[in-house]
Structure 1
Amino acid sequence: MCRITKEINELRRPGLLVEAAAQGTALYERRRDLRRMLRVAIPATARAALEKLLPIEAELEKRRREGATNYCLPRHVDILTALLAEARSFRVG
């Protein structure tokens, strides 16, 4: 099992957060959404996107757990949505 797959499989997040992200995958458009979320050129592959998304999500999760004032729930849902959609592409591709 590769490192990325292992990291994704080990994610443990609140059910409501995961459900919101899962619902968002129906509206996910890679080109539009990754550009907005990552604020860089769109990664060529799902693997490259996941390598960028995983540390962002980890930081958001850290802020959520700490109750940080700079935690942004909508951004966390967006990032998790992209992570789920890209993970699906990664596993298929």
Structure 2
Amino acid sequence: MQDILSMLSAIHRPRLLMRAARFGAEDYRREVHLPRLLGYGMLPRYGAALIQLMEMETALNAQRKDDDAAYSLTRHIDVLIAIVAEARVMRTAQV
């Protein structure tokens, strides 16, 4: 768990993206939002979900930096919202 959280703290994204993600994380509901991002079926544990979300976010960030026409800002923010919210739950569970 600590490795995942330290990996998250090493991520640096534009301030506006992170502000939007933190704001959106307030309304995040795992049962509703996570299946839309990761696919429907049984929800993964928090650590596994975070790893999948981080992989998705890395690909989206690469698209953003490359000015790829397929880049979706909305999708990127949705993934960042899920990462922020899942990380909050994981940190809370540690305490």
The AA in structure 2 aligned to 1:83 is I
**Residues 13-72 of structure 1, C-alpha deviations (whole Å, 9 max, x = no match):** 0000000111101111100100001114321x2112101111000000010011101100
What is the rounded CA distance, in whole Å, between the counterparts of 2:40 and 2:11 in structure 1?
25
| TM alignment of 1:50-61, pairs within 5 A | 50-61=50-61
Aligned to 1:74: 74
What is the rounded CA distance, in whole Å, between the counterparts of 2:20 and 2:59 in structure 1?
19
Structure 1 residue ranges without an equivalent (≥5): none
| TM alignment of 1:1-20, pairs within 5 A | 2-20=2-20
Structure 2 residue ranges without an equivalent (≥5): none
Runs of 4+ in 1 over 6 A off after TM superposition: none
Q: How many residues are paired up?
A: 92
Q: Percent identity?
A: 37
Aligned to 1:86: 86
